[in-house]
Structure 1
Amino acid sequence: MKREPAVKKVLYWCDQCNVPLIGRTCACGARVREIPLLQPHDVRPALTADMALIRRLLTEQFGDVPLPRVVLLNKTGGVDRADLVIVHGDRLGWLTFDPITRKFSLDIAPEALPHILPHVTRGIVDLEAEPAVNAHKGRIGGKQFPLAAPVPDGTVIISYKNRFGTGIVRDGQIRVKELVPVEPRTRPDPDWDTVIEKNRYHLKNLERNAVRTIKKHMNDRPCVNVSFSGGKDSTAVFHLARKAGVEKAFFIDTGLELPETVEFAASQGVEIIKKGGDFFQAVEKAGPPGKDHRWCCKLLKLQPLKIYLAGLGPCVTIQGNRWYESRNRADLDETSQNPANPLQLNISPIRNWRALEVFLYLWWREAPMNPLYEMGLERVGCYLCPAVLESEYEGLREMHPELTDRWDEFLIRWAEKNGLPDAYHRWGLWRWRALPPKMREVCRDRGIAVNDDFTLREAPVRKAEKVATMKSTGISDPAPPAETESVPDGIRKDFPILGDIVYLDNAATTFSPEPVVEALVEFEHRYRANVGRGVHRLTRIATQRYWHAHEKVARFIGGEAGVTVFTKNATDAINMVAQGLSWKPGDRVATTILEHHSNLLPWRALAKQGVAVDVVGIDADYALDLAALEETLAGGGVRLVAVTHASNVLGVTTPVKEIAALCRDHGALLLVDGAQSLPHMPVNVADLGCDILCFAGHKMFGPTGTGVLWMRDLLIEPPMLGGGMVASVTAEGYVPAEGYQRYEAGTPNVGGGIGLGVAVDYLSAIGMEKIHRHEERLTARLIEGLSGIDGVTVYAGRKPGARIGVVSFTIDGVHPQEAAQMLDEDADILVRSGHHCCQPLMEHLNLPDGTVRASMAAFTTEQEIDLLIAAVDEIGRGR
């Protein structure tokens, strides 16, 4: 059975001093009384904005009613904000916010009448003047009567035969609550300094116990720090920790913090940790976070914390969590192991404090406080957090419209895209994935349909609008909002799929940026047609753009003088060469141990034609053994050298220029597999000196099903015959077309080819040299970080100038597949594991299970590399 925490369910009050107390005694020595609190039993002071709001509502309803300087708010359950307002130790009423009308109301309690009645100048209904009441026989408390004259809806004070009470007016009817005799009452009006003085003894005890807790555990790990959020609780803990001798504190800037919070954190001298992922990119994919689906915490807080702790090592972290904040924290122990970060032992020294104790302590110690509290926020954190009340968000719209406008725009667009009713945005229903009972009741009362799983049902009107828009425009979703931050150079906004994942499997396939996707959609929606076989307008457009894509790709590799053929992928291109060259028995093909199966198996298959394959090895630094290659060539008979430009396992590059020189000396053709080099570094075929270059489009931001075969001349016979590859056909034979067309028989992947042209435009706009330098820095960072982890073996070349952003590694005692699965499930990091289609290389390296491989792209960030290092370190520690 789950034990109930020792929460304080009552508030003590000294009537003589007219002050709230956090203990059973007052400094004046007078007897105190208990005030029962409502769940969750948390009580806090009404601050500047709260006081102004309550005073305004009182004035609007009842005239110039004075408000004492000490007012408390007891949070209660409700649709949105619902506070029991306490003055003079009595209930003043309930302060609530209606998310539908977007208005606050103050429902006066009968206990308030002795304090406010002498000052009331309006809002009183005299029931003795109401005919319906006079005609009623018997008790009128709890009854409802029609009013003879119009009275505004809301709470009113009722007068009837020298008795007073409160009532609710709605639609010309008044519901009467209990009527009682009222004796006006006046009490002292102390300020908060007096409250602090009367509670000084209790505050000292709270401080002493909290400091004792910190000192008790601060040496449980090698280092100790404070988790500082900028809120009142972490501020109190920060000052308590300082008293215990702890100086180090950190603040995670999620990128969604209010500027006042960031400035306050900086003013306290805490270490500020940079934000984790990009929320506005992730939300385009994942949708709004909810109270029951807070995916954002992992992205924005847990991931940067994991990186921070990886550099710090095991530590004790003092935090400001309290029992009264949420059900999840209602049984929080003094110490707890952070389940998301095993390096961290959390200490909660104020877990039994209410908000009242926190504020009194900070005021007592004259500690600086985040100004947002006085401005009307109860909860300080991410401004669009689903846990924020709609009442607070309404205030933020006035404080920071530049922030809320962007979020509102997204919510409206998301609702329209998914056919959701306006209430999704207007009432704040986005804050739940599955609506809780109170919000389902609100929806039911107002005719908003809810599905069986308690999600909002798609609105029929919105659905029809959505379909009509899609049909008229050919575009399913509106464009994402403009991004202000560049990582690197502003390109991440073009890859919405990244969102809430860290993608490090680019050696297998990259993602396509929005311009490439748009080009594919445009082809399908605007001019889908075959190429080179017609004269109508669509085929002319398709033919011109498809031909132009070949030109773009040729220019990208400096291959304008050769022949650029579009293929399905690099494998297809290599097989075309293997099948298109005229082989004879005794011919030899030289290749390397570094090769992908695609650049090995097509040559092995030539054995039935009497062609032999020689495999050249590598040295201790994984570099190609040039001397062995030269020796192989010197042996004679080598018709073709087929070599990878960059290893898809080790990331090492091969010295293609030197290999080309050797091939020329010995009369051999040189085929280069550029599948891994093209996306990561500048490649110019004239500079390389190769005869043939093969590469894949899907590894360089292009569509899947695209690849390239470049030849300096028409070196091979077309391996496939048919329509589109001929200039003319007679009964006796055919004349092949000139240029690339002779190698592209049949209907090609027209849209894919055009998309590939856009992809090389995209890469060119960034700059391949810039991409290479960017990945070179990240690769060095990754190799250094992984190499420093005990039990991790890194397989990568030592020369920064002779490698790309591909790094393989193993973790002692952890199978590569298991490691990759853990990285995905625990850290949202996507890597590849296994043999990577390079089993001969794995056998050479004595790695029967393969490796874990992380491969980068232009959109990879330092933060993602650091997160991978931290996650691998965590796996290594737990092995």
Structure 2
Amino acid sequence: MEQTDKPVIYLDHAATSWPKPASVLAAMEHSMREEAANPGRGGHRMAVSAGRVLVRTRMLLGRLFGVPNPSDIVFMPNTTAALNQAIKGLLRPGDHVISTMTEHNSVRRPLEYMRRECGVQVDYVPADEAGRIDLDGLSALCRANTRLIVCNHSSNLLGSILPVADIAEIARSRGALLLVDAAQSAGVLDIDVGRLGIDLLAFPGHKGLLGPQGTGGLYIHPSIDLLPLIHGGTGSQSEEADQPSVRPDRYEAGTPNTVGIAGLGAGVRHVLAEGPSVIGRREWELTQELMGHLSAVEGLSLLGPKPGEPRTGIVSFTLQGIDSAEIAFRLDREYGIAVRAGYHCTPLAHRAAKTIDGGAVRSSVGFDTTGTETEALAQAVREIARSVSR
């Protein structure tokens, strides 16, 4: 089967947003050409200028997430690294942690490692097919030694949105901390860590924040001290043998991705100018149109919340009689449409959705997706479905 020469219709924003705003590319080029020295490691003008890139981006992220002190935001290469730092830096033998069945492996695998190697106790709250969890069931799982509740803000398979503020209230009432995985919500849902009661927030730079890959971060409440996973040079307190206690240096050993962080800053500026709620509403409207088109396809089943209900820009589906991987392959080769198929690194969510046997096709819209593009996906799926039924 030959690959189509049609322009790419990119509907895989849940993995990485693309294309990036022109301002992101310009910021990265400027950084590489003019200020790509080592920030915090020298007093010359280029090093100082590079340091300002980090400070400016940190301040922008503070505005976006309602963080009073930007130094409480530390840069990480991705959400996975941020989640590992939070989970492994906080939990100790004998601690109990509660998570949900809608989590990505970036949460589940560190938790299972801590269970297996460090004597941490782990429970997962069941979810229904739409990705909803029972808050009373969550509360009932809490114990005297419950140290942490960790959950995603939005499922990367179902697009469902968890009630973070309600979960935070349960955590506070039981003396536990709340870690939120904002991989699918940062930039498309309003997030104020104080208002929502979030103690730790892991986020990517390369998805809804429109920055490049290799960027992300972790917000750490000022009352929390995590043991750093990486030790090394920070450019501060260099005479000491121990890792610095000051933030953000404590968690940012080694040379940072200055060029990438410059691009992330430009992406965050774009999001702030538009407004996360405006972007989220636009994506929701696109998903509603897409779900309406797809629901008319014979043999197709939509996953996640029903039409009209809150969700992020993810629409996953299965098609009777054809494997999800084949659908994605044909969409790419025959129609030039980029989606993702399989298990999406979230097998527990597939168990909840009853799609563990074959996975699903996941389409996901972004800040610049058009109705024409979602209609093209729906038409392509209709044609694939007809070819299978013949």
Which TM bucket (shorter chain)?
A: over 0.9
SS in 2 for 1:739: coil
Asked whether the equivalents of residues 243 and 250 of structure 2 are also in contact (C-alpha less than 8 Å), the reply is no
Q: CA deviation at 1:593?
A: 0.5
> Which amino acid in the other structure matches residue 698 of structure 1?
H
Distance 1:529 1:865 in 2: 43
Q: How does 1:274-673 map to 2 (within 5 A)?
A: 500-511=7-18, 512-561=20-69, 563-585=72-94, 587-607=95-115, 608-633=117-142, 635-673=143-181
2:275 is aligned, of 760, 767, 770, to: 767
Distance 1:812 1:828 in 2: 22
Q: CA deviation at 1:582?
A: 4.9
Deviations 1:425-474 (A, max 9, x none): xxxxxxxxxxxxxxxxxxxxxxxxxxxxxxxxxxxxxxxxxxxxxxxxxx
Deviations 1:323-373 (A, max 9, x none): xxxxxxxxxxxxxxxxxxxxxxxxxxxxxxxxxxxxxxxxxxxxxxxxxxx
Runs of 4+ aligned residues of structure 1 deviating over 4 Å after TM superposition are none
SS in 2 for 1:736: coil
SS in 2 for 1:681: coil
Give the corresponding residue for 2:297: 789
> Which amino acid in the other structure matches residue 225 of structure 2?
L
> Which amino acid in the other structure matches residue 874 of structure 1?
E
Q: How does 1:126-141 map to 2 (within 5 A)?
A: none
Asked whether the equivalents of residues 302 and 316 of structure 2 are also in contact (C-alpha less than 8 Å), the reply is yes
Distance 1:788 1:544 in 2: 53
Q: CA deviation at 1:801?
A: 4.9
Distance 2:89 2:131 in 1: 32
Is structure 2 residue 337 aligned with structure 1 residue 850? no
Give the corresponding residue for 1:333: none
Asked whether the equivalents of residues 726 and 742 of structure 1 are also in contact (C-alpha less than 8 Å), the reply is no
Is structure 2 residue 316 aligned with structure 1 residue 808? yes
- Residues 570/874 of structure 1: CA separation in 2 closer, same or farther (3 Å cut): same
Q: How does 1:207-246 map to 2 (within 5 A)?
A: none
SS in 1 for 2:211: coil
> Which amino acid in the other structure matches residue 90 of structure 2?
L
> Which amino acid in the other structure matches residue 14 of structure 2?
A
Distance 1:729 1:576 in 2: 25
> Which amino acid in the other structure matches residue 126 of structure 2?
G
> Which amino acid in the other structure matches residue 505 of structure 1?
D
Deviations 1:613-660 (A, max 9, x none): 101111353212212111111x33211001000000000000000000
Q: How does 1:142-291 map to 2 (within 5 A)?
A: none
Asked whether the equivalents of residues 237 and 244 of structure 2 are also in contact (C-alpha less than 8 Å), the reply is yes
Deviations 1:510-546 (A, max 9, x none): 1222211111111111121001111111111111122
Is structure 2 residue 348 aligned with structure 1 residue 875? no
Deviations 1:395-429 (A, max 9, x none): xxxxxxxxxxxxxxxxxxxxxxxxxxxxxxxxxxx
Consecutive unaligned residues in structure 1, runs of 5 or more: 1-293, 299-499
Distance 1:660 1:727 in 2: 36
Is structure 2 residue 228 aligned with structure 1 residue 718? yes
Q: CA deviation at 1:843?
A: 2.9
- Residues 846/620 of structure 1: CA separation in 2 closer, same or farther (3 Å cut): closer
Deviations 1:16-68 (A, max 9, x none): xxxxxxxxxxxxxxxxxxxxxxxxxxxxxxxxxxxxxxxxxxxxxxxxxxxxx
2:257 is aligned, of 745, 749, 753, to: 749
Asked whether the equivalents of residues 529 and 538 of structure 1 are also in contact (C-alpha less than 8 Å), the reply is yes
Give the corresponding residue for 1:478: none
SS in 1 for 2:248: helix
Q: CA deviation at 1:689?
A: 0.8
2:201 is aligned, of 693, 703, 709, to: 693
> Which amino acid in the other structure matches residue 169 of structure 2?
A
Q: CA deviation at 1:584?
A: 2.5
Distance 1:611 1:764 in 2: 39
1:708 is aligned, of 217, 229, 242, to: 217
Is structure 2 residue 279 aligned with structure 1 residue 776? no
Deviations 1:252-307 (A, max 9, x none): xxxxxxxxxxxxxxxxxxxxxxxxxxxxxxxxxxxxxxxxxx96xx6xxxxxxxxx
Distance 2:11 2:213 in 1: 18
SS in 1 for 2:237: strand
SS in 2 for 1:864: helix
How many residues end up aligned between the 2 structures?
379
Distance 2:173 2:307 in 1: 28
Distance 2:180 2:235 in 1: 25
> Which amino acid in the other structure matches residue 729 of structure 1?
E
Q: CA deviation at 1:728?
A: 4.7
Give the corresponding residue for 1:837: 345
Distance 1:663 1:722 in 2: 34
Asked whether the equivalents of residues 97 and 149 of structure 2 are also in contact (C-alpha less than 8 Å), the reply is yes
Asked whether the equivalents of residues 646 and 653 of structure 1 are also in contact (C-alpha less than 8 Å), the reply is yes
Which has the bigger relative contact order, CA under 8 A and spacing at least 6? 2
Distance 1:864 1:550 in 2: 34
Asked whether the equivalents of residues 778 and 862 of structure 1 are also in contact (C-alpha less than 8 Å), the reply is yes
> Which amino acid in the other structure matches residue 862 of structure 1?
G
Is structure 2 residue 375 aligned with structure 1 residue 866? yes
Q: CA deviation at 1:679?
A: 3.2
Asked whether the equivalents of residues 727 and 737 of structure 1 are also in contact (C-alpha less than 8 Å), the reply is no
- Residues 829/582 of structure 1: CA separation in 2 closer, same or farther (3 Å cut): closer
Q: CA deviation at 1:554?
A: 1.4
> Which amino acid in the other structure matches residue 294 of structure 2?
L
SS in 2 for 1:646: coil
Distance 1:826 1:791 in 2: 21
Q: How does 1:108-127 map to 2 (within 5 A)?
A: none
Q: CA deviation at 1:741?
A: 1.6
Distance 2:38 2:309 in 1: 44
Larger Cα-atom Rg: 1
Distance 1:588 1:653 in 2: 24
Consecutive unaligned residues in structure 2, runs of 5 or more: none
> Which amino acid in the other structure matches residue 784 of structure 1?
G
Q: CA deviation at 1:747?
A: 0.6
Seq. identity, %: 37
SS in 1 for 2:148: strand
Distance 1:551 1:532 in 2: 17
Distance 2:8 2:313 in 1: 18
Distance 1:802 1:674 in 2: 16
Q: TM-score, normalised by structure 1?
A: 0.42
Asked whether the equivalents of residues 725 and 737 of structure 1 are also in contact (C-alpha less than 8 Å), the reply is no
Distance 2:348 2:298 in 1: 28
Distance 2:180 2:307 in 1: 21
Asked whether the equivalents of residues 725 and 742 of structure 1 are also in contact (C-alpha less than 8 Å), the reply is no
SS in 2 for 1:600: helix
Distance 2:382 2:376 in 1: 10
